[in-house]
Amino acid sequence: MAKQTARPDGPEISVDGDWNALFIDGEWRSVEERERVAVENPATRETIAQVPLGEVEDIDDAYDAAVGAQQAWAETTPDERAKVVRTVAQLLETHAEEIREILAVEAGSAPPKLDIEHGGAVTFVHDAASFAFRMSGRHNQSKIPGKENIIQRDPAGVVGVISPWNVPLKLAIRAVAPAIALGNSVVLKPPTETPISGGLVIARLFEMAGLPDGVINVVPGHGTVAGDRTASHPDSDVVAFTGSTGAGRLVGENAVNHFALPALELGGNNPHVVLEDADLDAAVDAGTFGSFWHQGQVCISINRHLVHESLYDEYAERLANRAAELPIGDPTDEDTVIGPIINEEQRDEIVEYIEQTIDEGATLEAGGDYDDLFVEPTVLTGVENDMAAACNEHFGPVAPIIPFSTDEEAIEIANATEYGLAGSVHSADRGRARDVGDQIEVGMMHVNDQPVNAEPHTPFGGKKDSGMGRYNGDWIIDEFTEVKWTSVQRESRDYLF
């Protein structure tokens, strides 16, 4: 049975709460001998918390707890599991103000990003609660007289989750909540940049909801230590990872070495295709949002704007004007649209892509400069597909614009990348847009919209080097459960000898 009350000594849900602990087997462990990471507000550079960095032994303890708790949790009724997950959704709403503040000061999340991340997390967790009742099996006919074939779904076991810093709450909880609803236990390794909103807050919410000890365990740490051990731990049955393609390859290799299923949502180089008959106002609106939401720090943001040559100049001028008008500042200001980049390393990479692309012959139409971690929304014209800001996942507020002359050329340019995550196509002829979109090699395509979209009942994932498997809905149920065939011979059977 689930616990009735949360532990009184756990950290409160607040920026000022005491987050100086790991969460293992229902206990907040301070582990004083561990190295600490200073969690910084990227807008002000103030330290908001000190969080211990888990070592291999902490990950091992977390897996021991998860293994010990999983079977009893799987044997609870679907109603009990659904109730805990629904309670987490309600707690997300109850503590919305506090959680939004944590996301603002830890992850640099401006109000437009907060609305989508927090609201989406609530919606995803509510939907995940229904998964407890959706582990449906079936009966199949048999070619053997008197035989009954029963196909059932069981929890996979222990799900290791390695989550990213960019949309930390939503992208962690979209794996954690379904795993728990389906009867699995979880070891969550959140990122060092956002260990509170990406992990410790989630532990606290499930603790408050009455989840039994050991079903969720949260161990922040470096990817090369805690992350590698999470992916390679022999007790992992599924490893769910969201992050870069390079890191995802290593996670996938570590997982399959002990036959864990890797569920990998990786990088993207997403095209926004504007055909010559597109509604230019709508295409620019979508292009502005899709490039600059959360400073472009999202795998499904627009990485390349592919615009028909007849609209190219006007589109570029409009997009540059829109970019120049976007308010830049502290995410805690309600008028801010563009907040800070998460850290210097990420900022330097973005700025290098911009400068290199200009050196390669592109023209700067807007932005291009930065102040500390605040990078201006940047628009580049005269871009070719092999220039730095176009061929790389720049992961910043950068909009390279590439011209094309035919639909076939647009498709060729769009597909000339190792990635295949998401894309969008604009045209007054929706059938034509569908035809173009169908030929672009991505896992998610949006007609007359932009690629920053996710819904809890639709599959989320990519092709090629953008990963394997799908999140959300029935697709994540497939990832986090295993199928078992049981046959029952109800009549005597004649054998061949």
Tens digits of residue pLDDT in 202-246:
999 999 999 999 999 999 999 999 999 999 999 999 999 999 999
The whole-number pLDDT of residue 362 equals: 98
Could you tell me which residues come within 8 angstroms of residue 24 by beta carbon, excluding any fewer than 6 positions away? 58, 61, 62, 65, 217, 218, 219
Residues 62-114: pLDDT tens digits? Answer: 999 999 999 999 999 999 999 999 999 999 999 999 999 999 999 999 999 99
- Name, in order, each residue with C-beta under 8 angstroms of 68's C-beta and a sequence gap of 6 or more: 25, 214
Q: Alpha-carbon torsion 387, 388, 393, 395, what sign?
A: negative
What pLDDT, in 10s, does the model give residues 375-410? 999 999 999 999 999 999 999 999 999 999 999 999
Give yes or no for residue 3 having a pLDDT over 50. no
Candidates 117, 299, 376, 479; catalytic one: 299
pLDDT tens digits, one per residue of 145-198: 999 999 999 999 999 999 999 999 999 999 999 999 999 999 999 999 999 999
As a whole number, mean pLDDT of residues 310-338 equals 98
Give how far the C-alpha of residue 116 lies from the chain's centroid of Cα atoms, to the nearest Å: 13
Classify domain 270-447 by CATH architecture: 3-Layer(aba) Sandwich (3.40)
Whether 299 sits among the annotated catalytic residues: the reply is: yes
Catalytic-residue membership of 391:
no
Q: How far is CA 63 from CA 37, 247, 433, in A?
A: 23, 22, 48
- The residues spanned by each domain of the chain are 22-266+466-484, 270-447
Angle at 113 between CA 204 and CA 479, to 5 degrees: 60
Q: Determine the CATH number of domain 22-266+466-484.
A: 3.40.605.10
Q: What is the pLDDT of residues 439-469, one digit of tens each?
A: 999 999 999 999 999 999 999 999 999 999 9
Average pLDDT on 122-128 reads: 98
More confident residue, 1 or 329: 329
Summarize pLDDT for 353-363 with one digit per residue, the tens: 999 999 999 99
Cβ–Cβ under 8 Å, residues 327 and 338: yes
Determine the straight-line distance between the first and last CA of the chain, rounded to whole angstroms.
51
Per annotation, catalytic residue among 265, 365, 393, 479: 265
pLDDT at residue 7 is higher than 70: no
Q: Give the span between the Cα atoms of 214 and 51, in whole angstroms.
A: 20
pLDDT over 90 at 137, yes or no: no
pLDDT for 4: 30
Average confidence (pLDDT) over 305-327: 98
Angle, helices 168-181/473-480, rounded to nearest 10 degrees: 60
DSSP assignments along 317-329, one per residue: HHHHHHHHHS-BS
| Per-residue confidence band for 9, with pLDDT thresholds at 50, 70 and 90 | low
Mean pLDDT to the nearest integer, 282-311? 98
Which band of pLDDT confidence, cut at 50, 70 and 90, is reported for residue 374? very high
Taking 60 as the threshold, does the pLDDT of residue 6 lie above it? no
